[in-house]
Amino acid sequence: MTKIRETSAQTLLRVANQTGTPCYVYNETTILRQSRLVLEAFKHHPVKWLYAIKANDNPHILKLIQRAGIGFDTVSFEEVLLCQHFTDDPRQIFYTENSMSDAEMDAAIRLGVTLNIGSLKRLERFCDHPEAHECCVRINPAIGDGHHARVNTGDSESKFGIRIGQIEEAVAVAQKSGKRIIGLHAHIGSGIKEPENLIAAMKVLLELSREFPDLQFINFGGGMPTPYRSSEKPFDMARFAELAIKLFDTDLKNRPDGFHYLFEPGRWFVAEAGFLLTKVQTIKDQLETRYLGTDTGMHHLMRPIIYDAWHDVVNLSKFGEAADQLYTISGNICESGDILAFDRLLPEAEMDDILAFCDAGAYGMTMASQYNRRALPAEVLLKSDGSYQVIRPAQTAEETVAEFLAKCGFETET
């Protein structure tokens, strides 16, 4: 229930009733608060913050975060094209490639975005490109972390980044072709459990940076966690800033003017701001399990299925009532594994009750699919002034099928 503090249950119920379910709802106030927190914590230092848009790329959210003074971190050419819409300065778009194609590299170079290269082979291709001049390189710091093994990116065996042992070669490749490596980057993982791991990886990068003669910035990645369970402590940004600033104060003594540091979290900005609202459509007692069947599922919120992720569930229609019934919350996808939450204590539920999955603002809608040919849900932005705006209407079932048929070359009647 504590999760609903900033966004009232009444407001969420009103949105569910007026917009319909399922829908994602994002609270602008929370996003702005998270943005202010990071900017404030480092305001006396040359630190820039980027938003990893993969967490939530609704254009209204991008606009909001950009206006708060945060840049964009992207990981695909498609994300680059999306961000291009929001900035006139392509260098402000940081593009971390991951097994990119030659065509994507060519297009990124032409656009002039800041390209972050994660393998020697790709660096060689980049250096061979006649119009390429400078880039950032992604290092594998051999320090990983993350809320689940699948999102640990800094481990020495992970697919990401250039091994420390290959750095000399990377510098040589660039120098031989007259290109400049102007940035160094690492991202150790998502939902970091031990902030000391991030600090340790930062030290590795600061140390390695001495091997790069043309460096203008170091990007330490993202991964700042969200406390999904009430037992988890929130990430202490002020404490983290204290430790980081100590490192920066020493490091900056030997840096040229304009040298700066970057961070690029995604979840930090949006996770806590978001709720997935859904309606109870069936209540079923199996032998030992009492199910609440909903009008959403793993196609809208994949995190519980692929990472065993926890999202608090609140029955908004029974808000404040005693939670004395055990329910398993299931989706409407035709798979036994489509369970969004196991064994949750909730007030006694009735058909048509509205449930909220909390902390669903990051990696919710961006990972949604049309599995079972299901329609995508609506997205709604709650404004700081109490009003709200549908920032992406729900697809109807008819639209979903008509679009699909048309894309596959089948004529449909309109």
Burial class (CB in 10 A: 0-12, 13-18, 19+), 367: middle
Q: Which of 122, 179, 279, 303 binds ligand LLP (CB under 6 A)?
A: 303
Tell me if 386 is assigned to a ligand binding site.
no
Q: What is the dihedral sign for C-alpha 281, 285, 286, 291?
A: positive
310: contact with ligand LLP by CB under 6 A: no
| Nearest Cα to Cα of residue 34 among 239, 244, 272 | 272
Question: Look-up: residue for tokens 């404490």?
Answer: 239
- Where are any strands of DSSP class E within 297-368? 313-315, 325-330, 339-346, 354-357
Helical H runs in 283-368? 303-307
94: contact with ligand LLP by CB under 6 A: no
Q: How far is the CB of 38 from ligand LLP (least distance, A)?
A: 11
268: contact with ligand LLP by CB under 6 A: yes
| Nearest Cα to Cα of residue 376 among 387, 386, 391 | 391
Cα separation, 214 vs 333, in Å, equals: 52
Tell me if 265 is assigned to a ligand binding site.
yes
Cα separation, 280 vs 347, in Å, equals: 13
Tell me if 335 is assigned to a ligand binding site.
yes
Task: Point out which span in 16-24, 263-271, 332-340, 387-395 binds ligand LLP (CB under 6 A).
Answer: 263-271
Q: Catalytic one among 23, 83, 135, 334? A: 334
Cα separation, 86 vs 66, in Å, equals: 8
Q: Which of 179, 187, 279, 344 binds ligand LLP (CB under 6 A)?
A: 187
Q: How far is the CB of 69 from ligand LLP (least distance, A)?
A: 17
Cα separation, 167 vs 142, in Å, equals: 13
Tokens matching residue 397: 């079932």
Q: What is the dihedral sign for C-alpha 192, 340, 64, 62?
A: positive
Cα separation, 24 vs 359, in Å, equals: 11
Q: Which of 100, 136, 173, 224 binds ligand LLP (CB under 6 A)?
A: 224
Cα separation, 53 vs 47, in Å, equals: 19
Please give the helix or strand (H or E) that residue 294 lies within, else none. strand 290-294
Task: Point out which span in 10-18, 218-226, 227-235, 393-401 binds ligand LLP (CB under 6 A).
Answer: 218-226
Tell me if 264 is assigned to a ligand binding site.
yes
Task: Point out which span in 219-227, 282-290, 313-321, 335-343 binds ligand LLP (CB under 6 A).
Answer: 219-227
Tokens matching residue 175: 């120098």
Q: How far is the CB of 257 from ligand LLP (least distance, A)?
A: 27
19: contact with ligand LLP by CB under 6 A: no
Q: How far is the CB of 246 from ligand LLP (least distance, A)?
A: 22
Tokens matching residue 384: 């700081």
Q: Which of 22, 144, 154, 266 binds ligand LLP (CB under 6 A)?
A: 266
Tokens matching residue 136: 């950032």
52: contact with ligand LLP by CB under 6 A: yes
Give catalytic status of residue 23 as yes or no.
no
363: contact with ligand LLP by CB under 6 A: yes
368 CA to centre of own chain: 13
Residue number with CB closer to ligand LLP (83 or 354): 83
Residue number with CB closer to ligand LLP (188 or 349): 188
27: contact with ligand LLP by CB under 6 A: no
56: contact with ligand LLP by CB under 6 A: no
Residues making up the binding site for substrate: 267, 303, 307, 335, 363
Residues making up the binding site for pyridoxal 5'-phosphate: 223, 264-267, 363
Catalytic residues: 334
Residues making up the binding site: 223, 264-267, 303, 307, 335, 363
Provide the binding-site residues for ligand LLP, judged by CB under 6 A: 52, 55, 73, 75, 96, 151, 153, 187, 190-191, 221-224, 264-268, 303, 307, 362-363
